[in-house]
Amino acid sequence: MKQEREWWVRHVAAWRSSGLSQAEYCRLHNVVVGSFGRWASKLRSEAGRSLVEVGKGFPAQVKEKPIELVVDGRYLLRLWPGTDRDHLGEVLSVLEDRA
């Protein structure tokens, strides 16, 4: 189950940064649209407690795309260009304390 969740987290994150509609993304990656929609909705509702944005800027302000990491299948870290190493270290430390 943990691997399945990580698979969906990766796909939903990739879709969000792709600029494609869900249907287009699913067609390109051979993913069932209905399942994708359910997981995208589920992950969006969890985002308030599991998405961690680290670094400077957000999509409207930065042209480069972030690096996205899934930590322990529970957290999606979005690392923006220019992320401070010390800041990232603090975020990881907090996440380790929660584990």
Q: Which pLDDT tens digit goes with each residue over 19-68?
A: 888 899 899 999 999 999 888 888 776 655 555 555 555 444 456 777 87
Could you tell me if 72 and 99 are in contact, meaning their C-beta atoms sit under 8 angstroms apart?
Answer: yes
Domain count, the chain: 1
Give the per-residue pLDDT at 99. Answer: 59
Residue type, 37: G
pTM of the model: 0.49
Give the per-residue pLDDT at 14. Answer: 84
For residue 71, which of 12, 6, 16, 1 has the smallest C-alpha distance? 6
